[in-house]
């Protein structure tokens, strides 16, 4: 491995008011470790350890909106109330003290919310990811209040010292439920065509942009796969992907975060046998992109049985994709849980699995 290849991943990246010191992010991972929604000193220490370990950007666990229907259980942190914001200020101060940036991921669980506490889940059409009835469909006049809840949470995040916010529009949660035809069966202006299904997520982005101002970065996380369907798609080809993403960028998204289960997998193999979803996202929008998905691992996100062969994922494939221009930042999840110093070890050349790197010439022309 040429050390110069790795060193390129340690260049800073500036997005609006935020300068990330390197190209590594901590991926958002739900913890349910904030009793009553208040992040405590243990949460600050948890994120500070990863910042000290070399990660340039931390994206928090999902933070539920200040709406009873938005999230459960109460041990998932929120972003409303003086004690909550004081707790987050401890977190952001601890991360900044280690030289990293931090973004709050804003999360409305939609139909995937548990109703164990008696609160009815809400969604675009009152159906879950299998198409079965669950909860109730949102009325069109309820949508502005949800957009306003995202905006309030984003402004609170900014005031608590966060450097950016990420809107969770992936994995079958509320914003993704509008994008996905299986969960969006609406016949009003928010359903039907792909442009109509993108309308509400774009309105949320616009509301957040208005709340945080022009210089505060907004990240949007999206996915093809859902927890209920690994083979799901919101875009069947690159043209449809552009139709989904362009309105979000136009509304104020600065960075796109395509969530994949394997960062190196081809998104549209019939069009290009190698280009990942991150690569296609960057190609059709030109926006900065965060890639993610089993970085440095050779196991599946969940046990897939005999359905899919799991390909090894040596960490040096990250370098190949970065050199090819597929992404700007790479997010790491489970590897950081096991080893908070993963990034520093990569920088220092003590991380296993970085031998035998070969450039992917087939992608060298991607811009």
Q: Please give the positions annotated as active site.
A: 173
Beta pairing, strands 122-123 & 101-107: unpaired
Integer distance in angstroms from the first to the last C-alpha of the chain?
24
Q: Identify whether the C-beta of residue 85 lies closer than 8 Å to the C-beta of residue 156.
A: yes
Q: How far apart are CA 235 and CA 147, in angstroms?
A: 24
Nearest to 161 by CA among 210, 105, 103: 103
Handedness of CA 331, 335, 338, 342 (dihedral sign): negative
- Write the burial class of residue 33 (CB in 10 Å: 0-12 exposed, 13-18 middle, 19+ buried): middle
| CA dist., res. 221 & res. 45, Å (int) | 25
Sort 300 into a burial class: Cβ within 10 Å, 0-12 / 13-18 / 19+: middle
DSSP state of 263: T
Confirm if 177 and 109 have CB atoms less than 8 A apart. no
Cα–Cα distances in Å, from 157 out to 56, 103, 165, 213, 280?
Answer: 19, 8, 7, 13, 30
Handedness of CA 183, 188, 190, 191 (dihedral sign): positive
CB 153 within 8 A of CB 65: yes
């Amino acid at each position: 491995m040429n050390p110069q290849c790795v060193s390129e991943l340690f260049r800073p990246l500036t997005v609006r008011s935020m300068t990330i010191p390197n190209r590594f992010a901590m991926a958002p991972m739900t913890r349910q470790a904030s009793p009553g929604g208040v992040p405590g000193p243990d949460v600050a220490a948890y994120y500070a350890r990863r910042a000290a370990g070399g990660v340039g950007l931390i994206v928090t666990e999902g933070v539920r909106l200040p709406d009873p229907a938005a999230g459960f259980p109460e041990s998932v942190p929120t972003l409303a109330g003086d004690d909550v914001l004081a707790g987050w200020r401890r977190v952001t101060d601890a991360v900044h003290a280690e030289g990293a940036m931090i973004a709050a991921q804003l999360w409305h669980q939609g139909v995937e919310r548990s109703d164990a506490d008696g609160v009815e889940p809400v969604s675009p059409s009152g159906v879950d990811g299998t198409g079965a009835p669950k909860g109730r469909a949102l009325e069109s006049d309820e949508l502005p209040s949800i957009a306003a809840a995202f905006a309030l949470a984003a402004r609170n995040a900014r005031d608590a010292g966060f450097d950016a916010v990420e809107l969770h529009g992936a994995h079958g949660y509320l914003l993704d439920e509008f994008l996905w035809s299986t969960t969006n069966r609406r016949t009003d202006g928010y359903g039907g065509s792909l442009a109509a299904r993108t309308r509400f997520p774009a309105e949320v982005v616009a509301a957040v942009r208005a709340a945080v101002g022009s210089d505060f970065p907004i990240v949007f996380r999206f996915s093809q796969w859902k927890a209920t369907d690994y083979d799901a798609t919101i875009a069947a080809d690159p043209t449809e992907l552009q139709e989904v993403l362009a309105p979000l960028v136009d509304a104020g998204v600065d960075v796109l975060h395509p969530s994949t289960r394997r960062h190196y997998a081809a998104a549209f193999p019939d069009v290009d046998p190698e280009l990942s979803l991150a690569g296609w996202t960057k190609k059709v929008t030109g926006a900065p992109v965060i890639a993610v998905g089993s970085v440095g691992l050779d196991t599946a996100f969940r046990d897939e049985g005999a359905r899919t062969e799991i390909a090894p994922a040596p960490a040096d494939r990250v370098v190949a994709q970065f050199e090819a221009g597929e992404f700007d930042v790479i997010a790491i999840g489970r590897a950081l849980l096991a080893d908070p110093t993963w990034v520093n070890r990569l920088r220092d050349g003590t991380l296993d699995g970085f031998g035998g790197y070969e450039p992917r010439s087939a992608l060298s022309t991607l811009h």
